[in-house]
Amino acid sequence: MYITGKIQIEDNETTTLPESAITNDGDKFYAFTAKKEGNNWTFTPVEVFIGVKDGNWVEVKFTEELGADVKFAYNNAYYLIAEMKKGESEHSH
């Protein structure tokens, strides 16, 4: 009989997001802030540095300081960046 477990050896606080909230574009990683304006939501990419992964959660450090009340999209980051790129290519014509 085998048992798999985790042993916590350090007590550190860090910021984490679900893996589905993070996507990459080349060698950079992004999460999306979410802000409700009226009945619509706007999503803005924010570059992050990723760290340790634990299950489906990933440690993130931000390249810029964000307020404590910032909300994030917790999934579909790949879709959001694809839509953003699609919008950029439509405007470049």
> What's the pLDDT tens digit per position in 53-85?
988 999 999 988 888 889 999 888 888 888 887
Bridge partners (DSSP) listed for residue 55: none
Question: What pLDDT sits at residue 66?
Answer: 86
| Burial of residue 16, with CB atoms counted within 10 A of its CB: 0-12 exposed, 13-18 middle, 19 or more buried | middle
In sign, the C-alpha dihedral spanning 73, 6, 51, 62 is positive
- Give the mean pLDDT of 43-61: 92
Distance (Å, rounded) from C-alpha 85 to C-alpha 89?
6
Question: What pLDDT sits at residue 91?
Answer: 55
Question: What pLDDT sits at residue 18?
Answer: 94
% of the chain surpassing 70 pLDDT: 88
Residue 23 has pLDDT above 60, yes or no: yes
The model's pTM: 0.75
